[in-house]
Structure 1
Amino acid sequence: MKKILLALTAVAAMTGSASAADLAARPYVKAPVAAPVANWTGFYIFGGGGGGLSNSDQHVQTTVGAIPLTIDQRQGGSGWFGTVGLGYDWQFNSTWVAGVFADGQFGSIRATVQDPLLFGGITGNQKLEDSWAAGVRLGWLVAPNVLSYVNGGYSGAHFGSTNFLTLAGVPAGVHINGYNRNGWFVGGGVENSLNFFGISSPGWFMKTEYRSAFYDRKTSDILTDGGNLPIGQSIRANSWNQTISTSLVYRFNWTGPVVAKY
């Protein structure tokens, strides 16, 4: 009897060892790597272009004769421009970004200038030739790589000279010299990464921006061509310019979020 029990015990021990040996080894699973959070802090540069509208409230006055004559009117125009600039952003929590920037614009946004009192009416075009802006912006991250923002600041502009024509379309022999004016602007836009449709372009972004700029009034004497002599007529005008631009942006520190690896 004892021999039978010893034999059964030995068989059971051998069977248990064989079963343990047949078990598959536990697979090794690598811990997931957390995706880095996109950080908007750092320098960037940009360049692009767009179109704009110009509006001007004009006060025309003549000092010729015993009784001065005046006319108030609003004129407008449109055109295109290019822009380049740079800036620096700070991301101060997971959803807010603040920054400073400066840019320059160059192109041809034209506005009509008229004097109905002289020679039965004269008209000309004044061109916003170039401008600059320096300001701040505050944005909210719609997504880790999409920023919606508002901005504002100071601006300066150079307006070119105006050569007048009569209503018949011939040179009137008079003009207004170009001048510089200062003002301020407000605006806003959206900036987003160009990583889409499976294309990887780290650091490259696109922004679309609306801007409204207001420039101080300027009184300009109407002068004779050649001699630059005042003829007793002047035009006082301000300028309100609205622009929409699209720019390509490069952010120097951008790595952006990546897909977690396992």
Structure 2
Amino acid sequence: MKKILLALTAVAAMTGSASAADLAARPYVKAPAPAPVANWTGFYVFGGGGGGVSASDQSVQSTVGQIPLTITQRQGGSGWFGTVGLGYDWQFSGTWVAGVFADGQFGSIRATVQDPIAGITGNQKLEDSWAAGVRLGWLVAPNVLSYVNGGYSGAHFGSTNFLTLAGAPTGIHLNGFNRNGWFIGGGVENNLNIFGITAPGWFMKTEYRSAFYNAKNQTELDNVTNLPAITGHDIRANSWNQTISTSLVYRFNWTGPVVAKY
């Protein structure tokens, strides 16, 4: 009986030692950290600049009766501009961002204006414009947003002084005017940390925009009297402007990437 008890005691002691050895040998494995996310909800301001091209479908009409005198022809131009604006974004469903914004542009995008019947030509400058719209984006990465936008736009075009085809003054002009329209576009916005720059809250965005302004009749006026010129003509034209801009953005709420809470 004593031999059996001694044998059982020895087996139990060996088993306990082996179990203790096994427990001591197991390596410690740290739980994986939660994936980093960024918070895009909040206000932002931006400013930048870029370049653009302009296209206009033009025709000549009689001032009296608005009788078409020529077929519609397309004229174009190009130039530069600066922009400033502000907005607010909401991040939802993890990787989607929606927002509202407003901005203004100022600069010099010039387009050709011609009256082939009278043999006169001039330049019309888009001096400033503004836009208010919405945008919807998807986070390609926690700190990179790809988006599309659209909304309402208004623009002011400066006056035009006509010259002959040889470059001589004609004494005829078009007054400056305002136009209303709409725009669509899209772009990419990213935190500057993507370039290895430590700049919390600072972003860069590059955006394409296409703005369309409705057609308007402009009467050719005499420079001295500011009354309808002897030509008796109106220029009817719309305007289509395409721009590409790069802006520096500051987001007031930016603290990311931050650790997601579980």
TM-score range, shorter chain: 0.7 to 0.9
Distance 1:68 1:46 in 2: 45
Compared with structure 1, are the counterparts of its residues 200 and 258 closer, same or farther at alpha carbon in structure 2 (3 Å cutoff)? farther
Deviation for aligned residue 1:62: 3.3
**Does the residue aligned with 2:70 lie in a helix, a strand or coil?**
strand
1:1-262 map, 5 Å: 34=34, 36-62=36-62, 69-118=69-118, 121-231=119-229, 232-257=232-257
- Is the CA contact (8 Å cut-off) linking 1:62 and 1:70 kept in structure 2? no
- Is the CA contact (8 Å cut-off) linking 1:54 and 1:242 kept in structure 2? yes
Distance 1:48 1:151 in 2: 18
Deviation for aligned residue 1:73: 1.1
Distance 2:196 2:52 in 1: 34
TM-score, length of structure 2 as denominator length: 0.83
- Is the CA contact (8 Å cut-off) linking 1:162 and 1:178 kept in structure 2? yes
Compared with structure 1, are the counterparts of its residues 31 and 183 closer, same or farther at alpha carbon in structure 2 (3 Å cutoff)? same
Deviation for aligned residue 1:31: 7.1
Amino acid at match of 1:194: L
Distance 2:69 2:30 in 1: 86
Structure 2 gap ranges (5+): 1-23
Equivalent residue pairs, number: 233
Distance 1:218 1:151 in 2: 26
Distance 1:73 1:242 in 2: 19
Distance 2:133 2:70 in 1: 38
Distance 2:63 2:157 in 1: 25
Deviation for aligned residue 1:29: 9.1
Deviation for aligned residue 1:35: 5.8
CA-to-partner distance for each residue in 1:106-164, whole Å, 9 max, x for gaps? 0000000000111xx11000000000000000000000000000000000000000000
Distance 2:196 2:244 in 1: 29
Compared with structure 1, are the counterparts of its residues 33 and 220 closer, same or farther at alpha carbon in structure 2 (3 Å cutoff)? same
Distance 1:70 1:156 in 2: 28
- Is the CA contact (8 Å cut-off) linking 2:187 and 2:208 kept in structure 1? yes
Deviation for aligned residue 1:211: 0.2
Distance 1:62 1:117 in 2: 11
CA-to-partner distance for each residue in 1:155-207, whole Å, 9 max, x for gaps? 00000000000011010110000000000000000001100354321100000
CA-to-partner distance for each residue in 1:45-101, whole Å, 9 max, x for gaps? 00000000000000112368xx97334211000000000000000001211000000
Distance 2:49 2:127 in 1: 14
- Is the CA contact (8 Å cut-off) linking 1:35 and 1:257 kept in structure 2? no
Distance 1:199 1:29 in 2: 33
Structure 1 gap ranges (5+): 1-23
Query: What RMSD over aligned residues (CA atoms) do the two structures have, in Å?
Result: 2.4
Distance 2:131 2:166 in 1: 39
Structure (1 or 2) with the larger CA radius of gyration? 1
Compared with structure 1, are the counterparts of its residues 221 and 145 closer, same or farther at alpha carbon in structure 2 (3 Å cutoff)? same
Deviation for aligned residue 1:30: 8.2
Distance 1:60 1:71 in 2: 8
Distance 1:43 1:36 in 2: 22
Q: In the alignment, which residue of structure 1 is the partner of 2:17?
A: none
- Is the CA contact (8 Å cut-off) linking 1:158 and 1:179 kept in structure 2? yes
- Is the CA contact (8 Å cut-off) linking 1:131 and 1:155 kept in structure 2? yes
Amino acid at match of 1:78: S
